Amino acid sequence: MAVRLHEIGEFGLIARLKEIVWRTDARVMVGIGDDAAVVTYERPVVMTTDALVQGIHFTRDTMTPETTGAKAVVATLSDLAAMGAVARHLLVTLALPPDTDVEEILAMYRGMADVCETYDVTLIGGDVVSTGGPLVISVTATGELLDKPLLRSGAKPGDILFVTGDLGGSAGFLHALFADRLTMLMPLDLALLRERHQRPTPQFAAAQILAEEGCTSLNDVSDGLASEAHEIAEASGVHLVIEADRIPIPPALRAYARMGRESPLDFALYGGEDYQLVGTVDVRRAGRVLARMQASGVRFTIIGRVTDGAPGVELLSQGIYQTIEKRGYNHFEAALRGDKEIR
């Protein structure tokens, strides 16, 4: 029989959560249990927050409780990576419907604790409230800068444009699920697309190399490559050219897209939730950066270049340039359309 939240109460829950995430951390003077946490840092502190909402970012069909917890942490850590920071601590706020099964919350926390171990991050506090609406997980993270922050604003004409990992797989999984086409996929292709959606990873290894070697701009891909590239173009006041054929798209996504005559490129450009890094590097440093990425086992692909001209993004495909819009996942547009599907 499932134990419901109202049976163990707020304090009972916090005691259970504390057990799951407890770890030693010399920077933590006060962790879970007092009015606030106390930590010690030596360098500039980076702070960021992101939230996941049931029905918008995940459902029982798209995610498990464990992968939901892990992904909530990764979505936030990804922004620390995109600033060139090393991750340190987390605060997690949960808004929970009162009839939530306690075991689901514990599983979510096991997913969070796993990611914390992997990236040497400690969960030092948070808040639990009840809600009449859907479940919400908000994750706030701190990080430390070992060097300068990596901003969206320094791209300059002549730089190369790169992306880490591959793009579009997460959106491809959702599309296949919502179109009821999962069973059409080969088992290994399905496993890869599901992994991209359910278990994204923050790109700290790549970010650390970029922080050391210098990159002129950096952003993480939460809303889709088109949207994130536009953010760099606008912040830097430059024009970007993306070569369509260079965009790294997983073969599993190509296979899926062929079945329904979908464009694999559209998933990469407008899908989102890849949590890869997109940015620019001075062309003279590109070779060295690429070599270091390869030596560290990070997939690093040059997908285009920075030119002068009005801020914007163009796609070069089969010799033809076309302007691409700043389109991607947009919360309020999606809500207005009452989306259950993604584009």
Ligand X SMILES: Cc1ncc(C[n+]2csc(CCOP(=O)(O)O)c2C)c(N)n1
Ligand Y SMILES: Nc1ncnc2c1ncn2[C@@H]1O[C@H](COP(=O)(O)OP(=O)(O)OP(=O)(O)O)[C@@H](O)[C@H]1O
Residue numbers 152-211 binding ligand X by CB under 6 A: 174
Six token digits for residue 166: 């591959």
Q: Closest CB to ligand X among 32 and 252?
A: 252
> What span, in angstroms and rounded, lies between the C-alpha atoms of 181 and 258?
12
> What span, in angstroms and rounded, lies between the C-alpha atoms of 230 and 215?
17
The yes or no reply on residue 104 touching ligand Y (CB under 6 A) is no
SS3 128: strand
Q: Closest CB to ligand X among 60 and 284?
A: 60
Residue numbers 240-299 binding Mg ion by CB under 5 A: none
Which spans in the chain are helix H? 5-21, 65-82, 102-119, 169-178, 187-198, 204-213, 225-236, 251-260, 264-270, 283-295, 331-337
> How many residues touch ligand X (CB under 6 A)?
14
The yes or no reply on residue 231 touching Mg ion (CB under 5 A) is no
SS3 307: strand
Look at phi and psi of residue 132 and say left if phi exceeds 0, alpha if psi is from -120 to 50, else beta.
Answer: alpha
Residue numbers 42-61 binding ligand Y by CB under 6 A: 50
> Which of the stretches 57-65, 100-108, 198-206, 306-314 binds ligand X when contact is defined by CB under 6 A?
57-65
Residue 109 annotated as part of some ligand binding site: yes
| x-or-dash string of contact with ligand X, 220-239, rule CB under 6 A | --xx----------------
The yes or no reply on residue 170 touching ligand Y (CB under 6 A) is no
Six token digits for residue 282: 């001075």
The yes or no reply on residue 228 touching Mg ion (CB under 5 A) is no
- Residues of the shown chain interacting with ligand Y in the complex, contacts defined by CB under 6 A: 50, 79, 222-223
- Residues of the shown chain interacting with Mg ion in the complex, contacts defined by CB under 5 A: 50, 79, 220, 222
